[in-house]
Structure 1
Amino acid sequence: MIALFIRDVRLAVRAGGGFGLGLAFFLIVVVLVPFALGPETALLSRIAPGVLWIGALLACLLSLDRIFALDFEDGTLDLIATSPLPLEGVCAAKALAHWVTTGLPLVVAAPVLGVLLSLPAAGYPWLVVSLLVGTPALSVIGTFGAALTVGIKRGGLLLSLLVLPLYVPTLIFGAEVARAGAGDLAVETPLVLLAAVTCVTIALLPFASAAVLRMNLR
């Protein structure tokens, strides 16, 4: 399982769908918002938590179709499915690899990009915490969506349409944690709800992803 995780991380970095692509898209979103809304600091600081979370969410979408597609095209996925490895563990390893190559760099870059949106100083630690807690859910949900669309030609758009509604709770609670932290408000309730969403997705969706993969590979 560890070897599969390391392999997926290396493939993601080599293919350019990991660190570089997600960070570049994240940067573009954050840079374009001030151009569209103007340089008003008060407005930018008010919307910064939501914009940063939306940028991170959309950046995660870019590489979801790579989670299973490349392995399906060259037949590796069939070999993995017939190997002694539990398919649930395979899905969990692939979700973890996606988070390490996409979600974790976004967590690291978010405070730097927050400067461009005049994020209040009190909001930086809570922005990092919210992304650190919430982005694993994005990767696990995305893995489930990728399993649903594996084998479908040009299934990227369908994948986005399937996954985006499932991302809404994570987006709401994650942005609320960052917004409340930036305004020196209580963050306990949205943070607990965000952690609950992440824990539930990690506990359940690898099994759902494995079941869907078995059906698609028959």
Structure 2
Amino acid sequence: MIALLRRDLMLAVRAGGGFGLGLAFFLIVVVLVPFGVGPETELLRRIAPGILWVAALLSALLTLDRIFALDWEDGSLALLATSPLPMEGVALVKAAAHWLTTGLPLTLAGPVLGVLLSLDPAVVPVLLASLAIGTPALSVIGAFGAAVTVGLRRGGLLLSLLVLPLYVPTLIFGAEAVRLSAEGQGAGTALLLLGGVTLGTCALLPFAAAAVLRINLRSSA
């Protein structure tokens, strides 16, 4: 599993879909928001939680189609299916590699970009915690969506339509935790619910992704 994770990290960086692409999109969205809604500090501070989480979600969405695509094209996925590592483990490792190259940089950049939206510095720890807890769910859900659409022509649009509804609970609880903290209320419940969503997706979706991958491999044989 460690060797597969290391290989996927190297492929993600070499393919140009790793650290740079998601961060660049994240930065562009956050920078453009003040131009669209105006420079009012109070307005930006009020909408900052939602904007940051939507930007992080869309940034993670950019590279989902590459999770299994390269392995499918060169036949590595079929070899992985016959390896001692179960397909559930392969799906989980792929999701972990996506999070390390996309979700983790977004998590670290979130508090810095929050300054551009006049986010209260006291809220930054909650923002960091919500992104750290919630972004793994985005990667695991994305891995499931990528498994469903792997091998399909122009599957990127179908992938987006498939995973965006599944992202809604993570988006709601993540943004709500930051909003409650900004209003001086406790964000513990929202963070616990967000953690529950992440744990649930990590426990269930790798099995669903593995089942879909086996079906796709059999149908292409």
TM-score past 0.5 threshold: yes
Write the letter of the residue equivalent to 1:153: R
Equivalent in the alignment of 1:201: 201
CA contact (8 A) 1:81 1:87 kept: yes
Q: Give the aligned partner of residue 86 of structure 2.
A: 86
The structural deviation recorded for 1:182 is 1.7
The corresponding residue for 2:45 is 45
Alpha-carbon deviation of 1:202?
A: 0.4
| SS of residue matched to 2:154 | coil
Offset from partner CA, 1:141-198 (integer Å, 9 cap, x none) = 0000000001101100100000000000000000001111122211121111100000
The question of whether the paired residues in 2 share the 8 Å contact of 1:174 and 1:191 is answered with yes
Give the match for residue 22 of structure 1.
22
Once the two structures are TM-superposed, the CA of residue 73 in structure 1 deviates from its matched residue by 0.6
TM-score by length of 1: 0.99
For 1:100 and 1:183, the matched residues in 2 are separated by: 31
Residue 123 of structure 1 corresponds to 123
Q: Which moved more, 1:62-71 or 1:76-85?
A: 76-85
In 1, the alpha carbon distance for the partners of 2:158 and 2:11 equals 24
Separation in 2, partners of 1:121, 1:78 = 49
Aligned 1:123-162 pairs, distance under 5 A: 123-162=123-162
RMSD (Å) for aligned C-alpha atoms: 0.6
Whole-angstrom CA distance in 2 between matches of 1:184 and 1:133:
21
**Inter-partner Cα distance in structure 1 for 2:183 and 2:9:** 37
Check conservation: 1:122, 1:183, Cα contact below 8 A. no
How many pairs were matched up?
A: 218
Q: Given residue 189 of structure 2, which amino acid in structure 1 is its aligned partner?
A: T
- 2:67 maps to 67
User: How far 1:106 moved relative to its partner?
Assistant: 0.3
Q: CA deviation at 1:103?
A: 0.1
Cα distance between partner residues in 1 of 2:122 and 2:179: 10
Name the CA distance, whole Å, in 2 between partners of 1:201 and 1:111. Answer: 25
| 1-structure distance, mates of 2:199, 2:164 | 19
Deviates more, 1:43-52 or 1:73-82: 73-82
Identical columns (%): 73
Report if aligned partners of 1:53, 1:175 keep a CA contact under 8 Å in 2. yes
| AA matched with 2:109 | A
- Shift in Å, 1:41: 0.4
- TM-score, length of structure 2 as denominator length: 0.98
Distance in 1 (alpha carbons) for counterparts of 2:103 and 2:97: 10
Contact 1:137 1:198 in 2 (8 A): yes
Structure 2: segments with no counterpart, 5+ residues: none
